[in-house]
């Protein structure tokens, strides 16, 4: 009986045949091919189960009468006998002993099949070759990053560069530090999907994000990366404040992703404690760790050290804060030198080069780049000289690669990535008057001034602190212009110890309850919105208080009779605002300030209130000026002229900080310190304190610009620079040729394996896109030629098993498209339309089935060509389809030697090989003398697809089945007498021809040089640290990386060659010989 092992080391072998039992062990025979001896394993009886062969299972049978092996398809398994369909409509009932089924291992080399004249119709080899060639081309273009092509994202060079660097590293522990709005979450999504693909779902991924972002992360992972089925199964998105769930999931995690990772270091109780301590304890045992944070190291040394500690605890111990602080400070000198490496400074670069040469006398590559640059400078070049720009670029890239703060910090800057994020177009200040605001301002100043005088006379630090905190709470509530009254200030008014004079403070409380605070501000807002609504701009209105936001939404809706969306994290109805022209206004409260993605289109950010923390203004604007298309983002700011403090604050934001003109995200720590310092000054001096702050902060020599310059210089040292354009050119070219991908896939899946295809109706098709469709497993007369259980097992993640309105309970896939533009369409994302590319669940499953299948691996045919000139009977030619790729066997041994042999590390090595030497599919043709065929006309004739219908000249092809082989043997072609030996010799010769090809030899040399250049950057920082006195862990890391680099380069020089398909074509111009071969069948 047929059986399979359900566990243990033989579970992956698939179907075998039980041939004996002795006690508790069974002898199970596994069939590989007719040309090799079966493999027998002794397996515990409890670990095997009986198997009923599925319909369409491939079956081998030796036909005694014909003296040859036949291959058929199972129609029905009766246990002791099977009904088999053989080619040409012949069906047989065969006993179990006469039926053989291949095990699950792919055929390593199909040459013995052709040598023993075991082959099938060339239509299988044509379809298979087309499909495998397409998949190899996609793998090459994507550098083995299978998660990238099949994700519904734009292909952006800077994001691909980040993903590429991480996915070729066996140690995937990185800080993604791209500036705000450049798409770090997209990079993380690709990396999460790749982890799932590498581990074949056998992984547990924990994604920790701020609570406000949980919904957005889940939506993006499902909509862009098609991971909806993984959510809450092996992919968990957890709020940063959900300590219990984080602690429960950490021990099982194989990948850890932390968004806004700086928030984790902020959530400590009593030093390094709280959930950070749990994460830090678990992180070293987690295979992949990914932190997302754009925060700078400057002025944030402790927080930055705590993030790096999660990546590399040995190099960045938490007790090393002083040393880390000194390291950051000492980098400033180098950062200033690097900042001077610009073409505009060509006349002064000699001095810069001298400084660098003196700083790093042992860095040979730096000295080489410096010497090259000096040689260019000596020619007195113009600033736009290409040679000067290239030489500076090489030196700058080396410094950035080797002397960055940590080689696993990956940062891109907006100024290096042009056109991907919209600019900020400044602010329109809407001024208005309000009696109630004027009364509130007087009440606040009366209380503040009286309390300050008292404290000056006899105030302790505690009293000062209490009053300043009370004052700040008043300012915060007043700045919100609430519709809901004084809020917590009413409670504060009863705390005499905090406020001092209760009567004066009570007046503040009364004024905060005046309706005019909200009404006057709302009227000013409505007046400003009128023209914006007419201009068809989309307005995003931010205010701090939720009840005020509700009231504003109602007022706007009533005033303009338009659709007004109200953001709510618990309700997705507001998402209709995105990209919808008939949804012109979205009203948000403070909950929307972090995590919302509103980029694209013509956006105006309306600040109903102006928070006293500029970082909140930055967060608001960051919702709209993110990665993606869109016009420059305008701001509209309301300011009451009857409040001098508010007018001064808006002036500081607009003229000193310039937050409405540019991103100030990198200044967040300076801003936080400024806010802490300004509170007491405002209490004692009022609006004058803001005038002083504006004066000291504004201008080229002001505090703000000096801080930006320092941070820019440090960031420039760590930044990756402008991504190379060729990184994405080939990938984009392939991706845009989606019709070819569609055709290549359809030839194999639809025309050869006979899957059905059902077009989808609905909004995507109605939008004029390439209509999505589903593949359908057919059980009609034209039955799909894959066993249903195997298809469902390999392609489970691609199947939609819900009953459909049109297809009933048919086995069908999710909706798919081959066109990226269609997959990116909002309607497609809502409807879960997948993108059919290398790395998709259906394509990956079908590739696995194809590799395990024998169809198409060996073919032989007779080609009648009336105009062929040659042997009057027939000439024959061999075709060998090879896949060539880097041999990673030596690199795998390095992993094992250093105890790093994990599935993630092996997958990373494969990608590192693909990035150095792109895999490719190559056909080699040999004639009967085993000489390579070079004649172009003959190659064109040989390469013509298999055609069973005669063309206009009468040319036709005949598959050499068992009976036609017998007829061919009777023709006594001399080579057929030693056919098996000839096939073996041809196989060896074909590989020699391939390996000896001058173009291949040259490309291998170029690939090794590319790998060496990449290794220089990868190893440069480790060697620099070794020269400075590396730790034991760093020395071990250097040794590992050097051995790994050498092993990969060896695998490039001697690549792995795998034979995918072998075939023989007999070409004849003889009609009589063709009629004899045909023989009616």
- Indicate the pLDDT class of residue 315, thresholds 50, 70 and 90: confident
How far is it, in rounded angstroms, from Cα 450 to Cα 453? 5
pLDDT digits (tens, 9 = 90+) for 333-367: 777 787 788 888 888 888 888 888 888 887 888 88
pLDDT at 630: 66
Q: Are strands 538-542 and 585-588 parallel, antiparallel or unpaired?
A: parallel
Checking if the pLDDT of 824 tops 70, the result is yes
Checking if the pLDDT of 105 tops 60, the result is yes
Percent of the chain with pLDDT over 70: 94
pLDDT at 272: 46
pLDDT at 266: 72
pLDDT at 193: 97
Give helix 321-339 / helix 386-402 axis angle, nearest 10°. 180
Yes or no: say if 193 and 147 are a contact pair by the CB < 8 Å rule: yes
Q: Which DSSP state fits 571?
A: B
Yes or no: say if 292 and 185 are a contact pair by the CB < 8 Å rule: yes
SS3 breakdown of the chain: % helix, strand, coil, rounded to 5? 50, 15, 30
How far is it, in rounded angstroms, from Cα 360 to Cα 691? 46
Q: Are strands 288-292 and 15-22 parallel, antiparallel or unpaired?
A: unpaired
Alpha helices for 773-861 (secondary structure H):
788-794, 820-824, 826-830, 841-852
pLDDT at 849: 94
How far is it, in rounded angstroms, from Cα 659 to Cα 639? 16
Residue 673, SS3?
Answer: helix
Residue where the block lists tokens 């020599």? 701
Q: Are strands 564-566 and 585-588 parallel, antiparallel or unpaired?
A: parallel
pLDDT at 271: 44
pLDDT digits (tens, 9 = 90+) for 245-304: 999 999 999 999 999 998 888 765 434 457 999 999 999 999 999 999 987 776 678 888
pLDDT at 877: 98
Checking if the pLDDT of 1066 tops 80, the result is yes
pLDDT digits (tens, 9 = 90+) for 1006-1029: 999 988 888 876 787 677 667 656
Checking if the pLDDT of 1081 tops 50, the result is yes
Q: Could you tell me the two tokens for 742?
A: 């569609």
Residue where the block lists tokens 């004052």? 471
pLDDT digits (tens, 9 = 90+) for 407-453: 788 887 776 666 667 788 999 999 999 999 999 999 999 999 999 99
Give the sheet arrangement for strand 409-410, strand by strand: 235-239, 205-209, 255-258, 288-292, 173-176, 409-410
Checking if the pLDDT of 767 tops 60, the result is no
Mean pLDDT to the nearest integer, 389-406: 78
Residue spans of beta strands (DSSP E) within 222-368: 235-239, 255-258, 288-292
pLDDT at 719: 64
* Burial state string for 851-882 with b = 16 or more CB within 10 A and e = fewer than 16: ebbbbbbbbbbbbbbeebeeeeebbbbbbbbb
Q: Give, in degrees to the nearest 5, the angle at Cα 913 between 909 and 914.
A: 115
How far is it, in rounded angstroms, from Cα 969 to Cα 1077? 10
For the beta carbon of residue 998, count every other beta carbon within 10 angstroms: 7
Mean pLDDT to the nearest integer, 1042-1052: 94
Q: Phi/psi of residue 953, each to 5°?
A: -85, -5
pLDDT digits (tens, 9 = 90+) for 970-994: 998 999 999 999 999 999 999 999 9
pLDDT digits (tens, 9 = 90+) for 561-570: 999 999 988 8
Instruction: Please give the C-alpha separations between residue 438 and each of 517, 848, 1012, 1038, in angstroms, as whole numbers.
Output: 10, 74, 70, 68
How far is it, in rounded angstroms, from Cα 468 to Cα 587? 32
Yes or no: say if 163 and 191 are a contact pair by the CB < 8 Å rule: yes
Helix (H) or strand (E) holding 905: helix 903-916
Mean pLDDT to the nearest integer, 158-167: 91
How far is it, in rounded angstroms, from Cα 866 to Cα 335? 75
pLDDT at 269: 40
- Indicate the pLDDT class of residue 65, thresholds 50, 70 and 90: confident
Mean pLDDT to the nearest integer, 769-776: 86
Q: Phi/psi of residue 585, each to 5°?
A: -135, 130
Residue spans of beta strands (DSSP E) within 452-497: none
Higher pLDDT, 875 or 347: 875
From 621-630, 891-900, 989-998, the region with the lowest mean pLDDT: 621-630
Higher pLDDT, 755 or 602: 755
Q: Which DSSP state fits 237?
A: E
pLDDT at 1023: 78
Residue 538, SS3?
Answer: strand
How far is it, in rounded angstroms, from Cα 836 to Cα 285? 35
Q: Are strands 173-176 and 90-95 parallel, antiparallel or unpaired?
A: unpaired
């Amino acid at each position: 009986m047929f059986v399979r092992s359900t566990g243990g080391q033989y579970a992956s072998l698939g179907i075998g045949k039980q041939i004996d039992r002795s006690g508790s062990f069974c002898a199970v025979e596994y069939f590989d091919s007719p040309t090799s001896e079966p493999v027998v394993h002794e397996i515990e009886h409890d670990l095997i189960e009986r198997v009923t062969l599925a319909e369409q299972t491939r079956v081998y049978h030796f036909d005694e009468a014909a003296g040859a092996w036949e291959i058929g398809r199972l129609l029905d398994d009766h246990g002791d006998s099977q009904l088999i369909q053989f080619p040409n409509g012949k069906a047989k009932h065969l006993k179990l002993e006469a039926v053989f089924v291949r095990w699950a291992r792919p055929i390593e080399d199909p040459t013995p099949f052709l040598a023993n004249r075991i082959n099938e119709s060339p239509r299988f080899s044509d379809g298979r070759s087309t499909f495998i060639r397409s998949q190899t081309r996609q793998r090459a273009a994507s550098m083995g990053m299978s998660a990238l092509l099949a994700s519904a994202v734009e292909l952006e060079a800077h994001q691909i560069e980040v993903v590429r660097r991480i996915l070729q590293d066996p140690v995937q522990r990185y800080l993604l530090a791209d500036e705000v709005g450049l798409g770090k979450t997209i990079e993380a999504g690709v990396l999460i999907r790749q982890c799932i693909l590498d581990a074949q779902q056998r992984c547990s991924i924990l994604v920790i994000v701020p609570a406000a972002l949980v919904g957005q992360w889940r939506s993006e992972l499902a909509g862009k990366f098609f991971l909806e089925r993984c959510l809450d199964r092996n992919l968990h998105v957890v709020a940063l404040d959900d300590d219990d769930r984080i602690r429960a999931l950490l021990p099982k995690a194989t990948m850890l992703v932390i968004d806004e990772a700086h928030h984790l270091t902020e959530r400590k109780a009593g030093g390094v404690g709280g959930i950070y301590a749990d994460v830090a304890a678990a992180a070293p045992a987690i295979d992949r760790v990914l932190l997302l944070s754009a925060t700078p190291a400057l002025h944030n040394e402790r927080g930055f050290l705590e993030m790096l500690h999660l990546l590399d605890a040995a190099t960045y111990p938490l007790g090393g804060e002083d040393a880390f602080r000194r390291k950051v400070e000492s980098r400033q000198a180098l950062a200033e030198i690097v900042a001077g490496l610009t073409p505009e400074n060509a006349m002064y670069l000699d001095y810069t080069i001298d400084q660098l040469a003196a700083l790093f006398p042992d860095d040979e590559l730096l000295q080489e780049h410096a010497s090259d640059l000096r040689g260019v400078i000596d020619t007195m070049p113009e600033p736009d000289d290409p040679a000067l720009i290239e030489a500076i670029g090489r030196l700058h890239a080396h410094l950035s690669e080797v002397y960055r703060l940590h080689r696993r910090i990956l940062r891109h800057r907006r100024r290096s990535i042009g056109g991907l994020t919209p600019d900020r177009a400044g602010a329109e200040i809407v001024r208005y008057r309000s009696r109630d605001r004027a009364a509130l301002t007087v009440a606040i100043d009366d209380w503040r001034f009286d309390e300050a005088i008292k404290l000056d006379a006899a105030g302790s630090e505690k009293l000062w602190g209490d009053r300043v905190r009370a004052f700040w709470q008043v300012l915060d509530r007043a700045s919100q212009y609430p519709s809901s009254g004084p809020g917590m200030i009413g409670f504060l008014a009863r705390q005499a110890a905090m406020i001092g004079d209760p009567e004066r403070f009570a007046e503040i409380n009364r004024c905060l309850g005046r309706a005019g605070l909200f009404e006057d501000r709302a009227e000013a807002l409505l007046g400003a919105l009128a023209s914006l609504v007419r201009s068809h701009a989309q307005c995003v209105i931010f205010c701090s208080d939720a009840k005020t936001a509700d009231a504003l939404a109602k007022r706007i809706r009533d005033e303009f009779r338009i659709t007004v969306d109200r953001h709510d994290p618990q309700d997705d109805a507001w998402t209709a605002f995105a990209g919808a022209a008939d949804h012109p206004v979205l009203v948000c409260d403070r909950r929307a300030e972090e995590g919302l993605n509103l980029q694209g289109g013509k956006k105006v950010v309306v600040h109903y209130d102006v928070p006293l923390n500029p970082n909140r203004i930055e967060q608001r604007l960051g919702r709209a000026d993110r990665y993606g298309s869109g016009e420059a983002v305008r701001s509209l700011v309301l300011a009451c002229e009857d409040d001098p403090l508010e007018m001064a604050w808006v002036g500081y934001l607009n003229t000193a900080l310039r937050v409405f003109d540019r991103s100030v995200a990198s200044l967040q720590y300076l801003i936080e310190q400024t806010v802490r310092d300004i509170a007491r000054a405002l209490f004692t001096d009022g609006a004058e304190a803001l005038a002083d702050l504006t004066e000291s902060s504004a201008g080229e020599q002001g505090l703000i610009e000096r801080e930006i310059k320092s941070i820019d210089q440090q960031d420039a040292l760590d930044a990756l620079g402008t991504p190379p354009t060729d990184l994405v050119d080939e990938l984009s070219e392939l991706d845009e040729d989606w019709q070819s991908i569609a055709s290549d896939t359809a030839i194999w899946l639809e025309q050869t394996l006979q899957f059905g295809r059902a077009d989808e109706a609905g909004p995507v098709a109605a939008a004029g896109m390439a209509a999505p469709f589903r593949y359908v497993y057919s059980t009609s007369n034209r039955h799909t030629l894959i066993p249903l259980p195997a298809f469902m097992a390999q392609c489970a993640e691609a199947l939609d098993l819900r009953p459909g309105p049109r297809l009933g309970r048919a086995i069908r896939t999710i909706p798919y498209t081959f066109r990226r533009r269609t997959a990116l369409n909002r309607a497609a994302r809502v409807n879960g339309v997948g993108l059919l590319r290398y790395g998709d669940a259906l394509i990956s499953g079908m590739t696995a089935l194809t590799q395990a299948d024998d169809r198409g691996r060996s073919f032989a045919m007779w080609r009648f060509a009336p105009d062929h000139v040659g042997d009057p009977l027939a000439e024959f030619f061999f075709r060998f389809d090879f896949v060539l790729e880097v041999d990673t066997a030596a690199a795998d041994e390095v992993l094992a030697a250093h105890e790093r042999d994990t599935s993630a590390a092996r997958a990373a090595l494969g990608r590192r090989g693909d990035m150095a030497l792109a895999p490719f599919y190559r056909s080699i043709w040999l004639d009967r003398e085993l000489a390579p065929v070079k004649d172009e006309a003959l190659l064109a004739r040989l390469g013509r697809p298999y055609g069973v219908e005669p063309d206009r000249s009468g040319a036709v092809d005949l598959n050499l089945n068992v009976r036609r082989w017998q007829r061919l043997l009777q023709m006594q072609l001399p080579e057929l007498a030693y056919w098996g030996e000839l096939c073996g010799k041809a196989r060896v010769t074909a590989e020699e021809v391939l390996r000896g090809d001058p173009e291949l030899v040259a490309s291998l040399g170029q690939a090794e040089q590319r790998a060496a250049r990449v290794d220089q950057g990868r190893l440069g920082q480790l060697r620099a640290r070794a020269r400075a006195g590396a730790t034991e862990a760093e020395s071990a890391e250097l040794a590992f990386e050097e051995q790994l680099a050498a092993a990969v380069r060896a695998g490039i020089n001697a690549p792995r060659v795998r034979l995918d398909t072998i075939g023989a074509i007999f070409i004849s111009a003889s009609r009589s010989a063709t009629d004899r071969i045909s023989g009616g069948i």
